[in-house]
Amino acid sequence: MAFQRTVKIKNRKARFEYEILDRYKAGIVLLGTEIKAIRDSKASIAESFCEFNNSELFVINMTIQEYSHASGYNHNPKRERKLLLNRKELKKLENEVKNTGLTIIPLLLFTNAKGFAKLEIALCRGKKQYDKRETIKDRESKRSLARIKKSFNN
């Protein structure tokens, strides 16, 4: 088997916009041209979210660009894609979303050692504006502290 380069596509906005409560790894139902495009890192999960439809979980608004070497049988870049989880995990997530108003956000799209595409999803609660300001303050203070430490070490 040939060496396959691992792909890691992050949703950098998610940690700023949401408070992460629980994480899951899910498989994705993909077409042949979609997995090839993902292996070329031609995907984005920045604006995506997950939604239940008939007690099945789908990722919405995930963009996988069309595969450049495909003929006329290419995929729709923004189509809904089914996520694969255990029945127990699906029930738990569905109850949390319905009862407490939480959302499911993709954090990371990656390929595993076997070359399969996986999606790390998280059960999240949206942050309020003051929480976001607090996050920015913490980040700035850590940055300035690192600068001060660096100046003392030199």
Measured distance CA(79)–CA(64) in Å, rounded: 9
CA separation, residue 121 to residues 17, 36, 64, 72, 73 (Å)? 15, 21, 17, 32, 29
Nearest to residue 64, comparing CAs of 42, 32, 48, 47?
A: 42
Measured distance CA(89)–CA(57) in Å, rounded: 11
82-119 pLDDT per residue, tens: 999 999 999 999 998 988 888 999 999 999 888 889 99
Mean pLDDT over all residues of the chain?
Answer: 87
Between 137 and 32, residue with greater pLDDT: 137
CATH architecture of 8-127: Beta Barrel (2.40)
Residue 135 has pLDDT above 80, yes or no: yes
pTM check: above 0.85:
no
> Above pLDDT 70, what percent of the chain?
96
Q: How confident is the model at residue 1, as a pLDDT?
A: 45
- Ordered by start, the domain boundaries in the chain are 8-127
Q: Which residues pair with 10 in a beta bridge?
A: 108
Contact yes or no for 121/108 (Cβ under 8 A):
no
Q: Which two tokens stand for residue 120?
A: 């790390």
Residue 4 has pLDDT above 70, yes or no: no
